[in-house]
C-alpha cells in the first residue's frame, strides 16, 4: 500500500467524527491486538499489497478528558519476494498520546501519534532496528462495566537506515483490540454502580440505589432510602427534609396523627390537651374544668345578669311640639338623644311612652293629639337604636294633669312626654 494512500485513508476516517458526550472509558487498561499489516515494496517487493497477520499487546492510561497515554508492542510475519530479502518478521514498539477529538455517547474517536522502534529480521538480510514515527486514527467503544473494544488504522514510518531507499520503511496496520480495565470502574456519584451502567448518574451521596443506579424511595415520600430517617412513612403524609412526618407544634405527635396540630400536647394519644368537661377549653386554661361552658373565655358558665331595677318614670322636660301638632321642635332632639342613652342603660326594661296635653280643646281631640305625640317620640327613639319591642306609646290627653290648667305655667307643665318603666 502506498504511503499517500494510507494518509488519505486516515484523513477520511478522521472527518467522520462529530462532537457529543464522551463515552466512559477505563482509567487504565491492558489489552490484546489483532489485525493485518502492509509493508512497502522496499521490504517485501511485489507483495506490498498482501495482508499479513498481526498480534500485539497494549497498555493505556487516561491523562485527562482529552488525552490518553498509550504503549503497544505489535508483531507480524511478512511474506516477501524481494531479491536478497525474502520473508521478514516486523516488530514495532511505540508509545505516545491519543487525542479524543470527537466524543460520542458510547464511543470516542481518537487520533494517535507517537514514537518508537521498528525491528526487522529478514531471511537473507538486512536485519535492523531503527527509530520510527507513528500516526493513526480509530474508535474506542464501551463494553460491559469497564472494558473496551477498539479499532485503529495507523502508519509507522522508520527512518535513519541508509541502506534502504528513502532511508526507511512505511508499515500500514489495521488493528482490532479488546482491553480490560485495570482497577475499579469509574463511579462518579459513589453509589456502587459504575458510570456506564448507572441510569441515574447524579444520585445524592448516601442514598440507596437499585441495580440501575437509581435511588430507592420505599415509602414514596420523595426522600430516598439511606437519607430517609423515617423510611416507613405512610403514603400521602407530608414530610420534612429528613423524610419524617411534619410536627408543627413540636409535641412529638406527627401532624397526620395530631387532632390538635397547632397546640402542643406531649405525651397524649391524640395530640390534644386534656379537656375533662369537653367544652373546647383545655383544662390548663379552664377555670371551671368540670363544668361545660363552651364559647366562654375562662371555661365557666356566665353569671346570670342581675335585672335592672327602674323605680321611677322619666319626664322629658323641654320636649316640645309645634302648636296643635305632633311635629317635634329642633330643640327637643338633644333631650331625646339623652333619653336614648338612659333607655340603653336600663337594659331590657320595657317602657311606655306616655303623652299628655293641657285642657285646651276637647277631651277627644286632646286624647288623639297626645297619642300622636307619644308615637312620634317612640319612632324617634327606635330610629336612634332602642329596640322597638321595648317601647309602647299611649296618649292620656288631659286626664292626668300635674299642674293647674288655669294658668299658663300650669298648662305648660301639663303638656309633657314621660317614659314610664313597665315592671
Asked if residue 253 lies in contact with residue 247, where contact means CB atoms within 8 angstroms, the answer is yes
- How far is 361 from 398, CA to CA, in rounded Å? 9
Looking at the predicted structure, is the pLDDT value of residue 2 above 60?
A: no
> Quick one: pLDDT at residue 286?
76
Looking at the predicted structure, is the pLDDT value of residue 13 above 70?
A: no
Cross-strand pairs, 128? 120
Looking at the predicted structure, is the pLDDT value of residue 17 above 80?
A: no
**Closest of 305, 253, 81, 74 to residue 172, by C-alpha:** 74
C-alpha cell at 242: 429528613
> Quick one: pLDDT at residue 375?
93
Looking at the predicted structure, is the pLDDT value of residue 142 above 70?
A: yes
- How far is 338 from 348, CA to CA, in rounded Å? 17
> Quick one: pLDDT at residue 329?
84
| pLDDT one-digit tens code per residue, 145-170 | 899 999 999 999 998 766 665 568 89
| pLDDT one-digit tens code per residue, 358-408 | 888 888 998 998 899 889 889 998 999 999 999 899 999 899 998 898 898
Residue bearing the bigger pLDDT, 283 or 184: 184
Residue bearing the bigger pLDDT, 214 or 32: 32
Pick from 16-25, 157-166, 255-264: least confident: 16-25
Which domains, and CATH codes, for the chain?
A: 3-181 (2.40.160.20), 314-421 (3.30.1330.60)
Amino acid at each position: 500500500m502506498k504511503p499517500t494512500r494510507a494518509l488519505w485513508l486516515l484523513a477520511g476516517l478522521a472527518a467522520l467524527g462529530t462532537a457529543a458526550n464522551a463515552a466512559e472509558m477505563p482509567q487504565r487498561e491492558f489489552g490484546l491486538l489483532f489485525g493485518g499489516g502492509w509493508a512497502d515494496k522496499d521490504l517485501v517487493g511485489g507483495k506490498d499489497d498482501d495482508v499479513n497477520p498481526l498480534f500485539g499487546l497494549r497498555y493505556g492510561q487516561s491523562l485527562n478528558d482529552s488525552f490518553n497515554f498509550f504503549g503497544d508492542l505489535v508483531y507480524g510475519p511478512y511474506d516477501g519476494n524481494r531479491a536478497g530479502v525474502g520473508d521478514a518478521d516486523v516488530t514495532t514498539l511505540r508509545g505516545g498520546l491519543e487525542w479524543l477529538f470527537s466524543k460520542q455517547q458510547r464511543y470516542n474517536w481518537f487520533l494517535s501519534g507517537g514514537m518508537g522502534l521498528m525491528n526487522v529480521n529478514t531471511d537473507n538480510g538486512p536485519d535492523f532496528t531503527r527509530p520510527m514515527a507513528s500516526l493513526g486514527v480509530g474508535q474506542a467503544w464501551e463494553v460491559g462495566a469497564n472494558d473496551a473494544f477498539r479499532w485503529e488504522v495507523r502508519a509507522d514510518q522508520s527512518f535513519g537506515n541508509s541502506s534502504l531507499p528513502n532511508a526507511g520503511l512505511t508499515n500500514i496496520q489495521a488493528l482490532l483490540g479488546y482491553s480490560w480495565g485495570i482497577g475499579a470502574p469509574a463511579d462518579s456519584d459513589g453509589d456502587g454502580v459504575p458510570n456506564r451502567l448507572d441510569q441515574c448518574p447524579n444520585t445524592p451521596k448516601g442514598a440507596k440505589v437499585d441495580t440501575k443506579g437509581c435511588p430507592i424511595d420505599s415509602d414514596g415520600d420523595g426522600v430516598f432510602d439511606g437519607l430517609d430517617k423515617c423510611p416507613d412513612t405512610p403514603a400521602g403524609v407530608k414530610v420534612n427534609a429528613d423524610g419524617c412526618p411534619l410536627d408543627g407544634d413540636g409535641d412529638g405527635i406527627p401532624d397526620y396523627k395530631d387532632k390538635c396540630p397547632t397546640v402542643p400536647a406531649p405525651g397524649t394519644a391524640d395530640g390534644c390537651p386534656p379537656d375533662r368537661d369537653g367544652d373546647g377549653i383545655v383544662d390548663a386554661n379552664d377555670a371551671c374544668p368540670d363544668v361545660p361552658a363552651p364559647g366562654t373565655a375562662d371555661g365557666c358558665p356566665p353569671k346570670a345578669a342581675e335585672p335592672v331595677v327602674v323605680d321611677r318614670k322619666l319626664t322629658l322636660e323641654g320636649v316640645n311640639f309645634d302648636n296643635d301638632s305632633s311635629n317635634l321642635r329642633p330643640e327637643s332632639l338633644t333631650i331625646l338623644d339623652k333619653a336614648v342613652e338612659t333607655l340603653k342603660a336600663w337594659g331590657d326594661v320595657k317602657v311606655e311612652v306616655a303623652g299628655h296635653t293641657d285642657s285646651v280643646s276637647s277631651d277627644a281631640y286632646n286624647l288623639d293629639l297626645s297619642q300622636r305625640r307619644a308615637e312620634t317620640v317612640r319612632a324617634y327613639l327606635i330610629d336612634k337604636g332602642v329596640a322597638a319591642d321595648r317601647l309602647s306609646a299611649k296618649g292620656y290627653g288631659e286626664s292626668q294633669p300635674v299642674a293647674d290648667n288655669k294658668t299658663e305655667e300650669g298648662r305648660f307643665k301639663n303638656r309633657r312626654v314621660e317614659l314610664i318603666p313597665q315592671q
